[in-house]
Structure 1
Amino acid sequence: MPDHGGLPAPSQGLVLTHFLTVRDVAVSREFYANVLGGQVVLPENPAIVQVANTWIIMNPGGGPTPDKPGIVLRPPEPGDPVSTFLNVRVADIEAFYAAATAQGAEFLTEPLDRKAEIRCYMRDPDGYLIEVGQATGMLHGVFADRPAPG
């Protein structure tokens, strides 16, 4: 991909980004830059932060537009069901957990060993769920137990 100032703009094919509807662009932008070590590519309208090999695009919510009629964008409210989340894979989960906690990230639990991986979850400033995991057993053919039926 040619350099367009770090913007996700491929000269051929495609690139996958993730859009988040946020309450406060500056707060969310700083979270993804500081906690996930991202590089701010565009500060606002929309904010774009490159994190590793992907981009997080952030803008406030709003009502329908001509290109998305009937669609309203809003960040999640407390108690909303989760239907999607970011999945961050790290080489050293203990180091990531310590660094992210030092930056103010709040995790639901400490990293837990799930046989296939060690993982934990945190939320961003808008309440989006982020899984952080380190592959362990899966690298050797060991996978997590299947959930109980029902």
Structure 2
Amino acid sequence: MSHDYNPFENSEFTTILVVSDMAKSKAFYVNVLGAEIFREYGGDSMVLKFLGDWILLVTPAGPTADKPNTYFVSPVDKDSVSHSFTIRVQDCNKSYEILKGRGAEFITPPVVNGAETRCFFRDPDGHLFEISEYRAT
């Protein structure tokens, strides 16, 4: 096997999130987070550009020929997390106030832990987001 070939050359990374209500999720990602809509597909999927990365929102779906026995489902229990996002921000308190003003529902206000200040919020389906400020000591 050659180590010279990069299998991801000229590639981009996309995160797929399964959402139960595309209209609610569209409002959240565009109006609260400020993501840009790149493309929409018939109401059951949408591609967003956010902070230089891609997010693909899809509605629940069953197996396909290339992924048999695989079901796409939105989070079942918002308090059991297997995947989350961290956004490094310059000022956690200011970002918290802005996002809260846009309708983000935070679990707690920002919490200071040493050189880091952070807090968490969820999208309409419970996907977890963290905003985190790190101050060099």
Tell me which interval the TM-score lies in, with the shorter structure as reference length: 0.7 to 0.9
Deviates more, 1:102-111 or 1:37-46: 37-46
One-letter amino acid matched to 1:102:
G
Alignment correspondent of 1:132 = 131
Map 1:12-51; keep pairs closer than 5 Å: 12-44=9-41, 45-51=44-50
Q: Which residue of 1 aligns with 2:102?
A: 103
Deviation of 1:78 (Å): 2.9
Give the direction of change, closer, same or farther, for the CA distance of 1:65–1:38 in structure 2 (3 Å limit).
same
CA–CA separation in structure 1 for the residues paired with 2:25 and 2:86: 17
Q: CA deviation at 1:46?
A: 2.2
Write the letter of the residue equivalent to 1:26.
A
Whole-Å separation in 2 of the counterparts to 1:134 and 1:29: 26
- Flag structure 2 segments of 5+ consecutive residues without an equivalent: 1-8
In structure 1, the gaps of 5 or more residues are 1-11, 141-150
Contact 2:20 2:74 in 1 (8 A): yes
Q: What TM-score does the superposition give when structure 1 sets the normalisation length?
A: 0.78
Kept in 2: contact 1:29–1:49 (CA 8 A): no
Within 5 Å, give how 1:85-124 maps onto structure 2.
85-124=84-123
- 1:126-146: CA deviations, max 9, x gaps? 01111111112xx33xxxxxx
Counterpart of 1:70?
Answer: 69
* Deviation of the 1:79 alpha carbon: 5.2
Task: Output the aligned Cα RMSD.
Answer: 1.7
Q: Secondary structure at the match of 1:106?
A: coil
Letter in 2 for 1:111: P
Whether contact under 8 Å (1:29, 1:43) holds in the other structure is no
Within a 5 Å distance, the mapping from 1:54-69 to structure 2 comes to 54-69=53-68
Query: 2:11 aligns to what SS in structure 1?
Result: coil
Q: What are the Cα deviations for residues 8-44 of structure 1, in whole angstroms up to 9, with x where unaligned?
A: xxxx522112110000112112211121111111134
Q: Secondary structure in 1 aligned to 2:95? A: helix
Matching residue of 2:4: none
Looking at secondary structure, tell me which structure has more strand per residue: 2
User: Relative contact order, CA 8 A, sep 6+: which one is greater?
Assistant: 2
Report deviation, 1:87: 1.1
